[in-house]
Amino acid sequence: MRDVFLFLAQQPVLLLFVVIGVGSAVGHVKVRGVGLGAAAVLFLAIGSSAWAASYGVDLEITEALGTLGLTLFTFCVGLVSGATFFSSLRRSLAPILATAGVLVVSAGVAVGAGRLLGLDAPTVAGAWAGAVTNTPALAAARDAAGDATTPTIGYAVTYLFGVVGMLVAVSVALRHREHDTDAPPTLVSRTVRVEATAGVRVRDLELAHRDRIKFSRVRRGETSPIRTAADADLLVLDDLVTVVGPVDDVEAVTRELGHASSHRLEADRLYLDMRRVTVSADHAAGHTIAELDLLHRFGATISRVRRGDVDVLATDDFQLQLGDRVRVIAPRERMAEVSRWFGDSSRGLSDITPVVLGVGMTLGILLGAVAFPVPGRVFSIGSAAGTLLVGLVLGRVGRIGPVVTAMPYTAAQAVAELGLLVFLAQAGSRAGAQIGAAFTSGEWLRILLLGALVTTTVAVGLSLVMRRVFRIGGTRLSGIVGGTQTQPAVLAFANARTGYDARVALGYALVYPAAMITKIVLGQVLGGL
């Protein structure tokens, strides 16, 4: 076996893909419906590296590959989450601060428990960094302590439980996810006959329901042609109108206007047609639906947008991205023209937009390298947090002049998954190489106990605060757990369990930057005690 390990040690790229391939295969194995998913790559890399170390072979994947994988992953997570991140930031500031507060409490627990267990400050700092699975925090602790070995031993002993413990926490959070009250509502479509004698404008109704509904078609009289609904349309007695939105809001507007009609305007294709069209033309992406002005351009409207596997209502301020599939309602004779204008090509699903990838990654890595002064020392947020922040901004901006600053959802997800697998393989190989030396320390059991206490504090604290105080459902909580732990393996596990529910990535991206910065600062504080 030693010869096999020696050969793999000389072929780092081969080693990388062996670990990814075999680990992913193991991750697909499920016991009672539960599998490790991409996290299996991490555990296989740890085991393989530790096994090779027993033969005196250093089976470690190059750190540069791990950095590349992690930054690709965080950048793409930022891109796909940017549009929704900033819209939810104002109402989610309290959960972000609560996340930082839970981490501060866990650091306090580490200091107190470390003293009771007779552990020195560098060991406590490293054990805390491992328990919250954050390598930049370990680096900060090592610099502050002036000791490269002791914190690393603490980190290696507690890291594995830091991953496994949070996987358990995610499993618990998702146990009753079908009862989440913050799930995106299912959209329905209904034709309503107007009975109100006083006319009411379409836009006034949409505003009254806070843009949770949208009117797509209208017919005035039984023999009149069906046309797309305009904001200025005045609905009067006996008009037929199609309304789209969550079922509760559709029910409410039906009662306001009249009653549900037995006619279905969407089934009548004589005048208007309906088609799903893929946004693949650059000129259509990065704009809000209102900015496209489809009604005046084509006599058309958009009722829904499908991004990934989720349908959302096409409100005026919704920003389209490459790869979105829009449900367009347009005059039959102009539908082909509308499709050509949007592009309607599979390229919109797969184009990785190299300019955005190159420039965004460059800016993110440079931002991560900037040193910020704090009393007595300086710190940097690291390339992972830097690329995530740049990705969030580019995903929100959508367009700068003629350049689209986002990436198609499916392409970004594919690049993120590849980056995640590369990072997990490298991180596991590095931890496995250290774990043997860590367990030769006579203090390993006390260190492990400290790490388990820290990880449990974070998991339980997040669950209590997010569920009891902010009423966050289990699906979004699973992403918040992964983001707070700054652990891609936890995110991958949550994605696999939820079928890549968009709430998971949003929860992850929401707290990840604050968690990363908080951990770096706390790592320096603990290391300097």
Burial degree of 261 (CB within 10 A; 0-12, 13-18, 19+): middle
Any idea which residue has 């797509």 for tokens? 216
Range list of β-strands (E), 287-347? 301-307, 310-313, 325-331
Task: Give the model's pLDDT for residue 81.
Answer: 75
Task: Give the model's pLDDT for residue 437.
Answer: 65
Task: Give the model's pLDDT for residue 148.
Answer: 59
First to last CA, the chain: 44
Q: Which helix (H) or strand (E) holds 216?
A: strand 214-219
Query: What angle separates helix 502-527 from helix 63-116, to the nearest 10 degrees?
Result: 60
Question: With a threshold of 0.85, does the pTM exceed it?
Answer: no
Task: Give the model's pLDDT for residue 131.
Answer: 93
HEC letters along 384-414: HHHHHHHHHHHHHHCEECCEECCCCHHHHHH
Residues 456, 461, 463, 464, CA torsion sign: positive
CATH numbers and ranges of domains, the chain? 62-180+356-415+444-527 (no CATH), 187-348 (3.30.70.1450)
Look up residue 469 and give its DSSP letter.
I
Task: Give the model's pLDDT for residue 38.
Answer: 67
Q: What values do phi and psi take at 433, rounded to 5? A: -65, -30
10-residue stretch averages of pLDDT, the chain, 529 residues long: 82 88 82 63 81 82 84 84 71 87 95 91 90 78 71 78 89 83 77 84 88 87 81 87 89 90 80 86 86 87 80 82 87 89 79 86 89 68 80 86 82 85 80 68 84 95 91 89 85 82 80 81 82
Q: Check residue 420 and give left, alpha or beta (phi > 0: left; psi -120 to 50: alpha).
A: alpha
